[in-house]
Amino acid sequence: QVQLVESGGGVVQPGRSLRLSCAASGFTFSSYGMEWVRQAPGKGLEWVAAIWSDGSHESYEDSVKGRFTISRDNSKNTVYLQMNSLRAEDTAVYYCVRDGRAGLIDDWGRGTLVTVSS
């Protein structure tokens, strides 16, 4: 079955960087777009970024544009989220999700917690 396993979360100071990884298995990774969704403590879900199946197109939520970069390595079945210039408001659980089609989220990872604090 589909498995999405995130890693790379942790505690980081404001202004610093962090890279999240998501290892995918159980499906043909190169055929699916992938996305990141986050959830601040006690809050709702917020879409962060998406990348097409071949990596040719990316899109971002406005508050992370210019700071976050989504990428993928189809040879390693892995999608990444490079997060630079982190802010306290980026503190959240970050979920790796599969894009079933046209942005439909059809599978979720278990999430990795990012805490931005001095």
Contact set with another protein (CB under 8 A) = 35, 44-47, 50, 59, 61-62, 95, 100, 102-111
Closest approach of Cβ 36 to another protein, in Å? 11
Q: Backbone dihedral region of 90: left (phi > 0), alpha (psi from -120 to 50 degrees) or beta?
A: alpha
Closest approach of Cβ 15 to another protein, in Å? 25
Compare residues 15 and 54 and give the one whose CB is closer to another protein.
Answer: 54
Compare residues 23 and 105 and give the one whose CB is closer to another protein.
Answer: 105
What are the two backbone dihedrals, phi and then psi, of residue 30, each rounded to the nearest 5 degrees?
-70, -5
What are the two backbone dihedrals, phi and then psi, of residue 8, each rounded to the nearest 5 degrees?
105, -5
Closest approach of Cβ 39 to another protein, in Å? 8
Which residues, including other chains, have CB under 8 Å from residue 102's CB and lie 6 or more apart?
none
